[in-house]
């Protein structure tokens, strides 16, 4: 029977099928961080068992770490306790741990691909919903809860019913200044934040095949924001070239064996999806959000919809505008902003810093804007310096911070103050996500760069 890419990877990982129940799915790679793991490790201790396959689990510290003075002890007592717990747990169970200050440290979903942990055809999980990022390599990757983290630590499996399958095709060429982030925000605005709930998405078409690996990661990262379990893209030469030679990727004859398998990883021509959407890439504009969920996105040149135009609950919609202090029909262009956040597992890779720098080069940061530029990993940080981007950024009035999740979820000190507006390249604009009372406008690195220069929402094409 014809199979989709998703079927091929899923089916080959099923240890056992439970009738009228979930599948027992074997997990190849497990990423662990300090926030969602302590209770899981505690569970193992209570059952008096050890991690079954420690070599398949990789731990890093990223969620609540400071982005300044990482060489000093972490000041926040609770954060430092979580970090210490992870370090001890990793040591006790023999798991590799790339803690604060380690050269391989960074956001889980940035370091996995960087070191060849993320591979095509693998099943990858982590206690963080944006695990979907790794799907860019043709892996099945999804976020899990802490009970499941405990399951994977103790048995290397999760139990889940097989999701339905959706394919999203985007053909044509993207316009100038339209980035992978805009493609994703466009899709979420079309499908809504629950449009893909219950599905696993495969992205296909010209737009994705001509995208860089970094771009594909951005798109897959945001799959979860339309409710999908995850998203994936069939691996191609770009994928293989990216992986080749990285620390944990297969070497020599193992590489050849892996390649044989990887080349089979695409949906059969006659494979059937439960749902399919097709869009024309040339209709997508630079996007920005105006509300409190990622589905509330519009093209940067249009107005905020009125509650009548909005599908869904009117009260919820108006509550959201009230939170943002925006009115129906307002133009989003020209809205004043206070903060810019470049970073996160959505847009914290080197390509994002290149795009941002390209816009601010030869210009100056607006004096009323506070900008937090946070690389996704030390590797990204090093590239920023090596490529000379830091010099340009400094000349334009920006400073670079140390890697971590930072203002994406504001568990550390990087909190947007109440009532302030931030143009953020991260993934969620929920009420208070970036700090209590903070107001978030999600956008691409270049829209963020334009806003950092002018101090207001600006179309980068007319800067």
Footprint on this chain of ligand SF4 (rule: CB under 6 A): 62-63, 107-109, 128, 130, 344-345, 405, 408-409, 426-427
What part of residues 240-269 is at the interface with another protein (CB under 8 A)? 257-258, 261
Nearest-approach distance from CB 203 to another protein, in angstroms: 18
Per partner kind, with CB cut-offs from 5 to 8 A, the member of ligand SF4, another protein, none near residue 445 is: none
Specify the DSSP element, H or E, that contains 208: helix 206-209
* 357 versus 440: smaller Cβ distance to another protein: 440
Please say whether the beta carbons of 340 and 371 come within 8 A: yes
Per partner kind, with CB cut-offs from 5 to 8 A, the member of another protein, ligand SF4, none near residue 26 is: another protein
Q: How far is CA 8 from the centre of its chain?
A: 24
Q: Whole-angstrom Cα distance, residue 157 to residue 281? A: 38
Residue with tokens 């950024």: 393
Per partner kind, with CB cut-offs from 5 to 8 A, the member of ligand SF4, another protein, none near residue 64 is: another protein
Q: Does 60 bind another protein (CB under 8 A)?
A: no
Encoded one letter per residue, x for contact with another protein by CB under 8 A and - for no contact, window 156-195 reads xx-xxx-x-----------------------------xx-
Question: Can you read off the two tokens belonging to residue 63?
Answer: 């969620």
What part of residues 216-245 is at the interface with another protein (CB under 8 A)? 227, 229
What part of residues 101-140 is at the interface with another protein (CB under 8 A)? 119, 121-122, 127-129, 131
Q: Distances from the Cα of 335 to the Cαs of 255, 286, 307, 423, 447, in angstroms? A: 52, 16, 20, 11, 13
- CA geometry: angle 446, 449, 452, nearest 5 deg: 155
* C-alpha closest to that of 452 among 393, 377, 386: 393
Nearest-approach distance from CB 56 to ligand SF4, in angstroms: 20
Q: Does 307 bind another protein (CB under 8 A)?
A: no
* 128 versus 351: smaller Cβ distance to ligand SF4: 128
Q: Whole-angstrom Cα distance, residue 212 to residue 217? A: 9
* 133 versus 267: smaller Cβ distance to ligand SF4: 133
Q: How many residues bind another protein (CB under 8 A)?
A: 80
* C-alpha closest to that of 33 among 114, 123, 126: 126
- Beta bridge partner(s), residue 140: 123
- CA geometry: angle 345, 189, 167, nearest 5 deg: 80
Residue with tokens 């980035």: 179
* C-alpha closest to that of 442 among 455, 425, 420: 425
User: Strand 23-26 and strand 14-17: pairing?
Assistant: antiparallel
* 299 versus 347: smaller Cβ distance to ligand SF4: 347
Per partner kind, with CB cut-offs from 5 to 8 A, the member of ligand SF4, another protein, none near residue 109 is: ligand SF4
Specify the DSSP element, H or E, that contains 183: helix 180-191
* 299 versus 377: smaller Cβ distance to ligand SF4: 377
What part of residues 6-45 is at the interface with another protein (CB under 8 A)? 13, 15-16, 18-22, 24, 26, 28-29, 35-36, 38-39, 42-43
Contacts of residue 90, Cβ cutoff 8 Å, sequence gap at least 6:
32, 59, 96, 97
Q: Whole-angstrom Cα distance, residue 157 to residue 136? A: 22
Q: Does 211 bind another protein (CB under 8 A)?
A: no
Per partner kind, with CB cut-offs from 5 to 8 A, the member of another protein, ligand SF4, none near residue 253 is: none
Nearest-approach distance from CB 126 to ligand SF4, in angstroms: 8
* 14 versus 78: smaller Cβ distance to ligand SF4: 78
Per partner kind, with CB cut-offs from 5 to 8 A, the member of another protein, ligand SF4, none near residue 156 is: another protein
């Amino acid at each position: 029977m014809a199979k989709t890419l998703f079927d091929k990877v899923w089916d080959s990982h099923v240890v056992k099928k439970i009738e009228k129940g979930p599948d027992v799915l074997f997990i190849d790679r497990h990423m662990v961080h300090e926030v969602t793991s302590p209770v899981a490790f505690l569970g193992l201790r209570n059952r008096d068992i050890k991690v079954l396959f420690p070599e398949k689990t990789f731990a890093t510290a990223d969620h609540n770490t400071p982005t300044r003075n990482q060489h000093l002890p972490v000041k926040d007592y609770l954060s430092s306790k979580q970090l210490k717990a992870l370090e001890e747990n990793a040591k006790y169970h023999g798991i590799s741990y790339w803690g604060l200050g380690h050269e391989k440290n960074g956001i889980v979903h940035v370091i996995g691909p960087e070191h060849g942990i993320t591979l095509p055809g693998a099943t990858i999980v982590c206690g963080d919903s944006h695990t979907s990022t790794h799907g860019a390599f043709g892996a099945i990757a999804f976020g899990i809860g802490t009970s499941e983290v405990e399951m994977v630590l103790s048995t290397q499996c999760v139990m889940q019913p097989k999701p339905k399958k959706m394919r999203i095709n985007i053909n044509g060429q993207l316009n100038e200044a339209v980035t992978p982030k805009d493609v994703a925000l466009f899709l979420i605005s079309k499908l809504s934040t629950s449009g893909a709930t219950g599905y696993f998405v495969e992205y296909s078409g010209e737009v994705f095949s001509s995208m860089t690996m970094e771009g594909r990661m951005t798109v897959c990262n945001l799959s979860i924001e339309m409710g999908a379990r995850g998203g994936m893209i069939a691996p191609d030469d770009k994928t293989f070239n990216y992986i080749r030679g990285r620390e944990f990727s297969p070497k020599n004859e193992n590489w050849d064996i892996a390649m044989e398998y990887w080349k089979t990883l695409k949906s059969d021509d006659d494979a059937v999806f439960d749902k399919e959407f097709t869009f024309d890439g040339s209709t997508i504009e630079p996007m920005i959000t105006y509300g409190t969920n990622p589905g509330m996105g519009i093209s940067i040149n249009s107005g905020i919809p009125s509650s009548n135009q909005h599908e869904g609950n009117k009260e919820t919609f108006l509550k959201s505008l009230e939170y943002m202090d925006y009115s129906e029909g307002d133009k989003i262009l020209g809205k004043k902003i206070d903060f810019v956040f470049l970073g996160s597992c959505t847009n914290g890779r080197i390509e994002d810093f290149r795009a941002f720098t390209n816009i601010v080069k030869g210009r100056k940061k607006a004096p009323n804007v506070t900008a937090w530029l946070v690389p996704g990993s030390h590797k990204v940080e090093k590239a920023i310096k090596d490529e000379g981007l830091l010099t340009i950024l400094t000349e334009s009035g920006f400073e670079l911070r140390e890697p971590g999740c930072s203002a994406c979820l504001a568990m550390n000190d990087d909190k947007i103050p109440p009532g302030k507006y931030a143009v953020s390249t991260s993934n969620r604009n929920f009420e208070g996500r970036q700090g209590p009372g903070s107001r978030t406008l999600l956008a691409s690195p270049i829209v963020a760069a334009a806003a950092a220069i002018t101090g207001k929402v600006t179309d980068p094409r007319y800067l």
